[in-house]
């Protein structure tokens, strides 16, 4: 009786274990104690040491040979995967063709930005709205949605403000005087693209019935940069106007001196300024219209030497650009710095005239001067 009670307390039989060849009966548990111990063991696929260290173990997967099993043709032999990769591969959810995977879009028509028929409509550079070309032309290149001023080709600008235009000095063309690499090819390509020989168009015209000399710079031709041919044409225009007693109206648009011509380009600042001075000494009127952008050597010479300085709304006007100034002084510039409105407030610009009112305003100024003379 006592022996049976001890057996139940120990939950194992020492004599039977010895008979079965066990080296030691101690630690061999049966019944409820063994069940408790089994439950304590984790079924987690990661070893306890790996879980405590926060590392994912490597799972060794033996795959079937080619032609056997569902993985045939994908893998062969034995590979070594991290546990997380193993789960991602074997338990990933199928994706349909609309979920944006690399292969999902194959064969599916993708939405594309609507193509704008050439010469039918244009896209505003500022607001991005689509505007009919006819509407933009009627508004003289000003966006009817946001009021942004689109750059104008020189002949279109002259036609907007003047009548009976006759071109002068069209034969004056630039040359690669410094043998700058690639300059000849670039000039030839621009001449073919724009249909102009140089970055300025000069001639005579009538504005409000008053005959005058005019010039208009071309942004399409190296952003109206002033090389020796541009400087020569503008100088010749002032000399012609002085000789014939004509006022001058100039539409300035330029990024400055043309770097491919070096010091020869910079010399045009002095040459044009001298011609402007002689024109002024003859008592003749010079009106400068500053458009976006008017910078560099052009703004430091003939563009700011006129009797009346007119500017278009929002035009960038200055010598160095705002980014160059900010990087030099390491300070943030005021809002609207170097814009026409800012310069008018500081006294550098006399008038800001809307493009649709430009012709009328220029005619008024020319007639006023002609009456005084």
Domain that holds residue 200: 151-372
128 and 166 part of one domain: no
Nearest to 137 by CA among 356, 362, 316: 356
Counting the structural domains of the chain, the total is 2
Note the pLDDT tens digit of each residue in 241-277: 999 999 999 999 999 999 999 999 999 999 999 999 9
As a whole number of angstroms, the distance between CA 134 and CA 132 comes to 5
- Which one has a higher pLDDT value, 5 or 26? 5
On the question of a cis peptide bond just before residue 293, with omega within 30 degrees of 0, the verdict is: yes
Q: Is residue 183 part of a domain?
A: yes
Model pLDDT for residues 174-206, shown as the tens digit of each residue: 889 899 999 999 999 999 999 999 999 999 999
276 and 140 share one domain: no
Residues 162 and 278 in one domain: yes
Q: Are residues 272 and 144 in the same domain?
A: no
Q: Are 195 and 306 members of one domain?
A: yes
Tell me the CA end-to-end span of the chain in Å, nearest whole number.
Answer: 145
Residues 123 and 242 in one domain: no
- 336 and 272 both lie in a single domain: yes
Of 96, 125, 150, at which residue does a domain stop? 150
> pLDDT grade, residue 371 (50/70/90)?
confident
pLDDT value at position 79?
47
Q: Looking at the structure, do residues 127 and 231 belong to the same domain, yes or no?
A: no
Say if residue 271 is in the same domain as residue 129. Answer: no
Confidence label for 86 from pLDDT (cuts 50, 70 and 90)? low
- Rounded to 10 deg, the angle between the 358-372 and 154-161 helix axes is 60
């Amino acid at each position: 009786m006592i022996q049976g009670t001890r057996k139940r307390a120990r939950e194992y039989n020492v004599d039977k274990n010895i008979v079965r060849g066990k080296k030691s009966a101690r630690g061999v548990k049966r019944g409820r104690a063994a069940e408790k111990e089994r439950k304590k063991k984790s079924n987690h696929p990661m070893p306890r040491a790996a879980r405590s260290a926060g590392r994912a173990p490597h799972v060794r997967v033996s795959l079937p040979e080619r032609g056997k099993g569902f993985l045939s043709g994908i893998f062969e032999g034995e590979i070594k995967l991290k546990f997380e990769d193993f789960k991602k591969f074997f338990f990933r959810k199928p994706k349909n063709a609309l979920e944006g995977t690399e292969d999902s879009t194959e064969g599916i028509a993708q939405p594309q930005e609507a193509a704008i028929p050439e010469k039918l409509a244009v896209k505003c550079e500022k607001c991005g709205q689509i505007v009919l070309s006819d509407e933009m032309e009627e508004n003289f290149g000003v966006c009817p949605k946001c009021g942004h001023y689109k750059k104008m080709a020189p002949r279109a600008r002259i036609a907007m403000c003047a009548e009976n235009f006759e071109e002068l000095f069209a034969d004056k063309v630039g040359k690669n005087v410094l043998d700058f690499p690639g300059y000849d090819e670039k000039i030839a390509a621009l001449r073919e693209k724009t249909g102009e020989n140089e970055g300025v168009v000069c001639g005579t015209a009538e504005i409000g019935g008053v005959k005058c000399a005019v010039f208009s710079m071309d942004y399409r031709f190296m952003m109206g940069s002033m090389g020796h041919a541009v400087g020569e044409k503008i100088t010749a225009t002032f000399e012609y106007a002085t000789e014939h007693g004509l006022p001058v109206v100039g539409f300035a648009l330029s990024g400055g001196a043309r770097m491919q011509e070096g010091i020869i380009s910079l010399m045009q600042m002095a040459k044009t300024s001298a011609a402007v001075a002689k024109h002024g000494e003859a008592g003749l009127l010079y009106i400068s219209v500053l458009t976006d952008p008017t910078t560099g050597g052009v703004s430091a010479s003939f563009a700011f030497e006129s009797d009346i300085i007119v500017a278009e709304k929002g035009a960038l006007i200055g010598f160095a650009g705002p980014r160059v100034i900010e990087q030099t002084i390491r300070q943030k510039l005021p809002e609207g710095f170097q814009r026409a409105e800012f310069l008018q407030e500081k006294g550098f610009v006399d008038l800001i005239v809307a493009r649709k009112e430009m012709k009328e305003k220029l005619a008024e100024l020319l007639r006023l001067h002609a009456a005084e003379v």
